[in-house]
């Protein structure tokens, strides 16, 4: 059923009218014309669509609009900018992490929550926190380096 | 019911010639008002105010100097994220003597580049870079000549630094590239070899620099395309939107080979703006909003034809390959001596057979394309590896000539060969033609995994003859499998796309496989391959094509596992065995370098000193891939109880001739190793009698970050004097055999079938 929604995305409030079952991903991409996050699977299996909902990494491809409520949505673009980058973004650039880069929402948004809650993660902590995310290009070694580099920057 | 009538077998007036006479329309503007210096430059004959035609024999097709002195370079190669762009920029900057940050690269736009084959077989640097280097060297020669005229000094007394030409003894007597030609175009003919695609080469009169003088090539210059993506500022092809655009989705049958016989358009009438496009076996929907298109594709009621189930029981796949009639047989590579006689006289024969499954590209996102037809011209945004070929394919679908189509390559959701990108472009073209609106089509996950062209399944038989003193005197290697060219490496012909096949074009399945790349010096040697027909000839989710290092990993899995079996049979250390028989000095060098870096201890495999559930081992494998050679040592742990293999550490020695960018090379190697480990341990396309059942990440699992190696140690061997060769795929090749050999070392059990998933390994161990 079509309903009215107020979405708080990266600090801005947007009013939209859409099917309440429509996943947040399509509201962000189609209605708000935000090009992040990406569609990877639509099945909560890969992370390409990850955003923060009140700080919690969430797969927007399976989050119906009706379930968003008044929680604050933050996308990769809202995490940091080239002027004020999040340490993970800086580390990603310094480590030259991605190949195709289509996966980066999942890894950066999920790692950002980890580093917020765990200032000194071990290698095992990082791998466990990132478990399940996909990078088909196989950039895992560089991802792990970047998360460690960001942790060092923040700690 | 909107039924389109699309005919694409013989589109009017379409020919390769039209492709060659590519349009002169230049969209990336490098123009600027004429200045008095540029007028003078024009007078020299080497420069012109209007751009010469975009043909391979024009210097302006590759290089332009802008009014501000920056350089634009144009290439028909594409960067799949392996840093080809920065490598090109370094090569251009080096030859032209300009800072690398003043070089901007434009790639994969058919309006600004000639057909150089696209991303293809790791030839980006090898062929595309060679051309970039030749064109840049020629541009420098021409510019220095123009400076000589202007400064009244012979060219051989001039030097160039940061794009400024000056006399050797008076730095104040100078002129910049920008002042010489900035904003105008080179009007210089190159000596084109007449070839299009990968072999295209068009050098000028200039000789590129001596590698000993390099200051930019060989440096770890960072990529400039990463920050925009990390800050969500760059568009992927999935992000492109144009006015009036609608979203498309295609609908695939539950039983492969089925076609729609009845489509109930009323079943989606509640979905706003949704429309059906049905033509023959092609079925799709469009809607203004993406979610509506997805819903419409899901809810549309379709009655499908009921073909006989097309596929054998998966458990019988390898028997099917064994028994299937051979469609084509070919000897390839170095053949030596008389293999049959040598086997007749052998003191001992060792043989083994290996099996490799179908695998899926399963790119990170399913493919996407946007096709817009406007004012008699069509534009397609695509993540394809081969924009110039997709141009032909889209033209054929639209029924126009290729010169009416522009393809703009835009970063896609990952690509490792002939994935689903070219199919998406063709499908989007069919939809756009039918509805008369720009159509953006992205596949759903089950289509990206279930319906992409697959890496072919195969079996491999290896035999060796030993003489009485345990020397290997003959070697016979045969692969038999589905073709890597069942559909071609690009979507230039409708018959090689699902859209074309669904619309009913005449089919033509090509034949191709491969042989091991190595230099074992056995006196008698034969390597051959045989292809068989596809399981389903039309619109098959198991149609086979090129996937990262096409057929390389599977062939090397068999051949280098077998070398390990020989080493064990001869009681030789696996490295020592290779050093005894491998002939090529660069091959020997990578084997030695890997062994040294890994601290390899010489001993015969398997280890016999381990008790208990968790055992560890190490294995080596090596390969040539074209002129590149790689040796890989894997260190693994095996949990005997569960059959789980942990590939803990890799050591890679890599020689691709001259290294352009060591940092990019390291990343390319790491990513190859991780992806190839995933393919070795986990990846197998599952199917039942009706269809492929690997349709997402749960049913097509890949390596998880918790299983990623602890370390990938890399030794790169740089040969500045040897032409650079491909690094985009080569290090994938030896990984499966290195792991298999390490598992043998750990357990004494030889795994001859991929993937080495826990269930299979567990049963093999017991
Ligand atoms: S697209 Fe949402 S998890 Fe894959
Ligand atoms: S960089 Fe391509 S999927 Fe991660």
Among B137, B135, B128, B136, CA closest to B723: B128
- CATH architecture label of A2-78: Roll (3.10)
Most B CBs within 10 A among A20, A48, A85, A100, hence the mutation to make, goes to: A100
Give residue A60 CA to ligand 1 midpoint distance, Å.
Answer: 7
* Residue B664 with chain A: CB contacts under 8 Å: 96
A102 interface with B at CB cutoff 8 Å = yes
CB contact under 8 A, A35 and B672: no
What ligand is nearest to the CA atom of residue A139? 2
Q: Which of A39, A96, A136 lies at the smallest CB-CB distance from B226?
A: A96
* pLDDT surpassing 80 at residue B24: no
Domains B237-307+367-443 and B314-360+454-532 share a fold: yes
Question: How confident is the model at residue B171, as a pLDDT?
Answer: 84
What's the rounded Cα separation, in Å, for the pair B763 and B766?
5
- Position B633 scores a pLDDT of 98
Q: Give the pLDDT confidence score for residue B762 in this predicted structure.
A: 98
CB of A41 sitting under 6 A from ligand 1: yes
The CATH classification number of B237-307+367-443 equals 3.30.365.10
Point out the ligand 2 atom lying closest to the alpha carbon of residue B413.
2
Q: Which residues line ligand 2 (CB under 6 A)?
A: A 98-103, 135-137, 139; B 364, 414
The average pLDDT across B396-418 equals 96
Instruction: Write out pLDDT tens, residues A61-76.
Output: 999 999 999 999 999 9
Does the pLDDT at position B16 exceed 70? no
Residue A57 burial (10 A CB sphere; 0-12, 13-18, 19+) = buried
Find chain B residues with C-beta within 8 A of A19's C-beta: 291
For residue B532, pLDDT beyond 70: yes
Closest residue to atom 3 of ligand 1, CA basis: A44
pLDDT for B101 beyond 60: yes
* pLDDT greater than 80 at residue B33: no
3 state SS of B345: coil
Interatomic CA distance for residues B508 and B177, integer angstroms: 51
Atom of ligand 2 nearest to the CA of B671: 1
Highest mean predicted confidence (pLDDT) among B124-138, B162-176, B464-478: B464-478
Q: Name the CATH architecture for the domain at A80-154.
A: Orthogonal Bundle (1.10)
> What integer pLDDT is reported at residue B239 of this predicted model?
96
- Cβ burial of B715 (10 Å; 0-12, 13-18, 19+) is middle
pLDDT of residue B466: 98
Considering every ligand atom shown, identify the ligand nearest to the alpha carbon of residue A48 and give its number.
1
For residue B10, pLDDT beyond 60: no
Q: Residue range B280-300: average pLDDT?
A: 98
- Cα dihedral B486, B489, B493, B496 sign: positive
d(CA A147, nearest CA chain B) in Å? 13
Q: A82 vs B702: CB contact, 8 Å cut-off?
A: no
CB of B565 closer than 8 Å to CB of B505: no
Beta strand residue intervals within B697-756, DSSP E: 711-716
Of B226, B364, B445, the CB nearest to A136: B364
pLDDT at B28: 30
Q: What is the CA radius of gyration of chain B?
A: 28
Supply the pLDDT for residue B311.
98
pLDDT at B397: 97
State the pLDDT confidence band at B127, using cuts at 50, 70 and 90. confident
Per-residue pLDDT, B705: 98
The answer to whether residue A135 neighbours chain B at the CB level (below 8 Å) is yes
**In chain A, what are the domain boundaries?**
2-78, 80-154
The confidence band for B620, taking pLDDT boundaries of 50, 70 and 90, is very high
With bands split at pLDDT 50, 70 and 90, how would you rate the model's confidence at B1?
A: very low
The CA distance from B452 to B544, in Å, is 9
At residue B35, does pLDDT exceed 80?
A: no
From ligand 1's centre to the CA of B547, what distance in Å? Answer: 24
How much is the pLDDT for B44?
A: 53
Return the higher-pLDDT residue of B480 and B30. B480
Q: Where are the domains of chain B?
A: 3-225, 237-307+367-443, 314-360+454-532, 552-765
A18, β-bridge pairs: A3
The pLDDT score that the predictor gives to residue B124 is: 74
DSSP state of B532: E
- Establish whether this prediction's ipTM goes over 0.95: yes
Please name the residue of chain B whose CA is at the shortest distance from the CA of residue A102: B413
pLDDT tens digits for range B587-613: 999 999 999 999 999 999 999 999 999
**Would you say residue B23 has pLDDT above 70?**
no
Looking at the predicted structure, is the pLDDT value of residue B12 above 50?
no
From chain B, the residues in CB contact with A43 under 8 A are: 445, 696-698
Comparing alpha-carbon positions, the chain A residue that sits nearest to B247 is A30
Tokens of B325: 């009639």
Q: What is the DSSP letter of B221?
A: P
Give the mean pLDDT of B448-477.
98
What sections of A31-86 are H helices per DSSP? 65-68, 76-79
How confident is the prediction for chain B on average, in pLDDT? 93
CATH 3.30.365 matches B314-360+454-532 = yes
* Whole-number pLDDT of residue B275: 97
pLDDT of the residue at B122: 67
Taking contacts as CB-CB distances below 8 angstroms, the residues of chain B near A81 are 231
* The predicted structure's pLDDT at residue B42: 42
The answer, yes or no, to whether residue B237 has pLDDT greater than 70, is: yes
Measure B446 CA to ligand 1 centroid, in angstroms: 13
Indicate whether B88 pLDDT > 50: yes
Q: What are phi and psi of B27, to 5 degrees?
A: -95, -35
For the domain spanning B552-765, the CATH number is: 3.30.365.10
CB of A47 closer than 6 angstroms to any ligand 1 atom: yes
Reply yes or no on whether the pLDDT at B530 is more than 60.
Answer: yes
On the question of pLDDT at B34 being above 50, the answer is no
CATH architecture of B3-225: 2-Layer Sandwich (3.30)
Q: Is A125 on the interface with B (CB under 8 A)?
A: no
What's the pLDDT score for residue B549?
A: 95
What are the tokens at B72? 């634009």
Report the pLDDT averaged over residues B635-658.
98
């Amino acid at each position: 059923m079509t309903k009215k929604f107020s979405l708080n995305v990266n600090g801005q409030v947007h009013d939209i009218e859409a099917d309440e079952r429509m996943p947040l991903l399509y509201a962000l991409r189609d209605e708000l014309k935000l090009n992040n996050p990406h569609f990877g699977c639509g099945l909560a299996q890969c992370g390409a669509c990850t955003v923060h909902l009140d700080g919690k990494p969430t797969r927007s491809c399976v989050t119906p609009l009706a379930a968003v409520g008044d929680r604050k949505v933050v996308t990769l673009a809202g995490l940091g900018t080239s002027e004020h980058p999040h340490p993970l973004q800086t580390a990603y650039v310094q480590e030259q992490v991605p190949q195709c880069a289509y996966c980066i929402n999942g890894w950066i948004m999920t790692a950002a929550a980890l580093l917020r809650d765990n200032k000194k993660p071990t290698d095992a902590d990082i791998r466990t926190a990132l478990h399940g995310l996909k990078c088909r290009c196989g950039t895992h070694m560089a991802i792990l380096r970047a998360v460690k580099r960001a942790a060092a920057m923040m700690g | 019911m909107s039924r389109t009538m699309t005919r694409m077998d013989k589109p009017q007036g379409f020919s390769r010639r039209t492709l060659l006479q590519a349009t002169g329309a230049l969209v990336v503007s490098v123009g600027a008002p004429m200045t008095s210096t540029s007028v003078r430059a024009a007078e020299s004959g080497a420069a012109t105010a209007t751009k010469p035609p975009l043909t391979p024999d024009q210097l302006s097709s590759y290089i332009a100097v802008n009014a501000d002195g920056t350089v634009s370079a144009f290439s028909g190669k594409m960067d799949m994220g392996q840093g080809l762009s920065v490598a090109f920029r370094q090569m251009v900057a080096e030859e032209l003597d300009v800072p690398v940050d003043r070089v901007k690269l434009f790639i994969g736009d058919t309006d600004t580049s000639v057909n150089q084959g696209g991303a293809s077989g790791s030839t980006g640097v090898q062929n595309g870079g060679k051309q970039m280097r030749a064109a840049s060297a020629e541009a420098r020669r021409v510019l220095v000549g123009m400076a000589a005229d202007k400064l009244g000094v012979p060219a051989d007394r001039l030097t160039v630094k940061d794009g400024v030409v000056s006399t050797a003894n008076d730095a104040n007597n100078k002129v910049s590239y920008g002042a010489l030609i900035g904003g105008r175009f080179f009007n210089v003919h190159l000596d084109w070899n007449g070839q299009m695609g990968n072999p295209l080469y068009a050098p000028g009169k200039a000789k590129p620099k001596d590698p000993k003088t390099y200051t930019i090539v060989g440096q770890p210059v960072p990529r400039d395309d990463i920050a925009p993506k990390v800050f969500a500022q760059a568009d992927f092809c999935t992000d492109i939107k144009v006015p009036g655009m609608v979203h498309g989705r295609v609908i695939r049958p539950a039983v492969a080979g089925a076609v729609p016989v009845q489509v109930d358009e009323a079943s989606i009438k509640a979905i706003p703006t949704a429309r059906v496009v049905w033509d023959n076996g092609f079925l799709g929907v469009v809607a203004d909003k993406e979610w509506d298109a997805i819903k419409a594709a899901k809810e549309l009621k379709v009655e499908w034809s009921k073909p006989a189930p097309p596929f054998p029981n998966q458990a019988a796949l390898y028997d099917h390959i064994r028994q299937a009639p051979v469609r084509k047989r070919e000897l390839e590579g170095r053949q030596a001596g008389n293999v049959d006689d040598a086997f007749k006289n052998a003191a001992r024969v060792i043989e083994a057979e290996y099996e490799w499954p179908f695998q899926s590209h399963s790119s990170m996102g399913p493919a996407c394309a946007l096709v817009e037809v406007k004012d008699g011209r069509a534009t397609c945004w695509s993540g394809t590896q081969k924009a110039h070929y997709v141009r032909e394919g889209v033209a054929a679908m639209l029924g126009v000539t290729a010169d009416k189509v522009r393809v703009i390559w835009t970063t896609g959701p990952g690509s490792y060969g002939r994935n689903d990108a070219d199919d998406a472009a063709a499908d989007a073209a069919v939809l756009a033609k039918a509805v008369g609106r720009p159509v953006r089509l992205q596949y759903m996950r089950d289509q990206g995994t279930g319906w992409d062209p697959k890496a072919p399944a195969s079996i491999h038989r290896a035999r060796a003859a030993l003489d009485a003193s345990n020397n290997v005197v003959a070697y016979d290697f045969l692969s038999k499998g589905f073709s890597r060219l069942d559909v071609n490496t690009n979507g230039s012909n409708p018959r090689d796309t699902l859209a074309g096949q669904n619309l009913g074009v005449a089919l033509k399945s090509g034949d191709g496989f491969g042989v091991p790349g190595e230099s074992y010096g056995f006196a008698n040697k034969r390597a051959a391959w045989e292809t068989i027909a596809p399981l389903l000839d039309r619109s098959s989710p198991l149609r086979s094509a090129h996937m990262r290092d096409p057929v390389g990993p599977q062939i090397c899995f068999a051949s280098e596992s077998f070398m390990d079996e020989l080493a064990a049979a001869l009681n030789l250390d696996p490295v020592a065995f290779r050093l005894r028989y491998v002939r090529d000095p660069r091959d020997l060098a990578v084997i030695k370098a890997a062994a040294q870096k890994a601290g390899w201890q010489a001993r015969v495999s398997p280890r016999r000193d381990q008790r208990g559930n968790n055992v560890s081992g190490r294995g080596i494998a090596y390969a040539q891939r074209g002129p590149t050679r790689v040796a890989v040592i894997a260190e693994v742990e095996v949990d005997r109880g569960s059959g789980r293999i942990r590939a803990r550490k890799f050591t890679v020695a890599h020689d691709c001739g001259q290294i352009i960018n060591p940092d990019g090379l390291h990343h390319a190697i790491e990513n190859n190793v991780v992806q190839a480990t995933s393919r070795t341990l986990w990846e197998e396309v599952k199917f039942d009698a009706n269809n492929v059942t690997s349709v997402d990440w749960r049913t097509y699992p890949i390596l998880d970050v918790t299983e990623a190696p602890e370390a990938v140690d890399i030794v790169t061997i740089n040969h500045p004097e040897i032409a650079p060769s491909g690094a985009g795929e080569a290090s994938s090749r030896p990984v499966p055999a290195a792991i298999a050999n390490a598992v043998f070392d750990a357990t004494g059990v030889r795994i001859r079938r991929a993937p080495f998933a826990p269930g299979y390994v567990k049963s093999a161990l017991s």
